Structure 1
Amino acid sequence: MTGPQPVLSVHDLSIRFRMRDGAYVQAVSGARLDLAAGECLALVGESGCGKSVLASALLGLLPGNAETAGSAFIGDLDLLAADERTLARTVRGRRVGLVPQSPAAHLTPVRTVRSQLEETVRELTGVRRGPRLRAAAEEAAERAAFPAGHLDRHPHELSGGLAQRAATALALVGDAPLLLADEPTTGLDRDLVERTVDELRRHIGAERALLLITHDLAAAERIADRMAVMYASRIVELADAADFFGSPGPRHPYARGLLDALPEREFTPIPGMPPELGALPAGCAFAARCDRATGICGTRPALADGVACHHPATVPLEAPRA
């Protein structure tokens, strides 16, 4: 007996960019993940590892020099095979709601929040004018805990937290089954980070999932059900969040290094630098930085049993310091 169909199913997704000199930059390599309704999956990793490129692919927003392979299904629609007309009319806002990295830049600066919500309601719901349109816009604001008294303000008049709530309200209008939050806490202080991710968590439900793309492990720990760790274009670990942040901890040496670098843990940086995406090694991309590496690491490990590593960790991590 099979379970319910995932909201999002990504299989062997690869993305590369052709440069002017004919060389290629491999931004995503063979990514695989499933995301179920009611679930938050946090995709984490250092800047430049390919997280946001993967998000752009799901929205059909890759530049013209991008080449893709694999599939990314929402329901029966392969997002990678869809044309621009389909993406614009049936995906963006309707199947995938985007909470962007920089909401203040995402919002139109010369229009009030109310007018932008009303425009989005008209586009996605068919409510065109009058009291119904106004009520629908106000309902969208209320769902994102955006105060009604600020609806007639412009984006520059909002705090960072309120701008984020305005962007979330826009993302929720179409009742998309996938909410995609791409670095939604960038530039926010810790209190606002916690409030922002708590608010995002509130919108996960029986018919909606959340893909949280972040470098903020504390934010991921706060709301994620599962973790996907990305390194140098590749997903190297998939794990339940409780196991990842607790015991036994991550199994991939890179993922362990991410946790060890946190101030509340060992505060030990990962030595070395990640490889250039235009010159990825044939084997394990982390081998040059890894104290477990042996000759077999010259071959690329498959993602098996949730980890892509020839020498996965088996010893539980120590608890973080109080």
Structure 2
Amino acid sequence: MHIGVLTGGGDCPGLNAVIRAVTASLINDAGARVTGIERGFLGLIERKSRPLDLASVAGIVNLGGTILGTHNRADPFHYFGAGGADMSSQVIAYIRELGIDALVAIGGDGTMAIAHRIASLGVPVVGVPKTIDNDLMHTERSFGFDSAVAVVAEAIGRLETTASSHGRVMIVETMGRYAGWIALEAGLAGGADVILIPEIPYDVEAIAALCRKRETAPGYTIICVAEGARPAGGQLTVAALLADSPDPVRLGGVGHVLREKLQPQLTSEVRTTLLGHVQRGGSPTAFDRVLATRFGHYAAQRVARGEFGGMVALQAAQCTSVPLEMVAGKTRTVPLDHPLLDAARALGVSLGH
């Protein structure tokens, strides 16, 4: 048995733990040969791969990023390097040339969408869910999310000390795309006073009124805002449009827009911190290392059993599998009746209205 492994989309903590678990499990339990595809699907297009053995994955469980590299715009069905041409036939030919029997694709919704299309061309595929945004359908958790939440929560704590010292309003902008999971969990963990998520449009006047009230006591306000948050009746804040990307809309900058709206209405100085890719970097938390290891081992088990066409998922705290077509190109947002929203309101945290 010869298995290919790739990491697609954005990097995040925990990818190396999956690579390690998939590789070691397949070698030790199934006697398989494993090949790493470099830089995600780009490696299949540009014919770049290398063998993976036990030595090559030793000591990587605690490393951030991915030893295989990744790429978030390399869609074989619409390749940016060839004017948007369909390179899928060349990709399939390279897979056959390598003698790969099945592919383990580790990534987010875009990676799962591509993996599903490749599977439809006859390549057996198992998907593993990766995203700091925690927005993949039918899985309670994706690895990388816990690490990102830890980074944001720590940043909020650090910003609170300077906010209280200067009597400021501090806005912290998180990633998350169209889902508010990072902002919601990190905001609660960090003790934010206002949490703004895409699922609940916010009212600038209501936020300003809260900040004015807090100018007297305790004298400062912490606002955690997801990059996909928008004002009621308003639009998303778009940082860039990428015509050659599977995800052509790049969000970002809502924190600065909010600061410009709030500052004229407040006596306190308003500052914005855009955390950006700091949320993706560094070592994974212990939780993410364990989750990534569980996912990688379960993916290897499915490969060994010949069970393909699905993505590993966490449901009721147990590993299972869901069909790729149920995940591909879909987004799991925060339900409006989620218990964490109820908890936030009970704690007196404003959700922007």
Scaled by the length of structure 1, the TM-score of the pair is 0.29
Relative contact order higher in (CA < 8 Å, ≥ 6 apart): 2
Larger of the two Rg values belongs to structure: 2
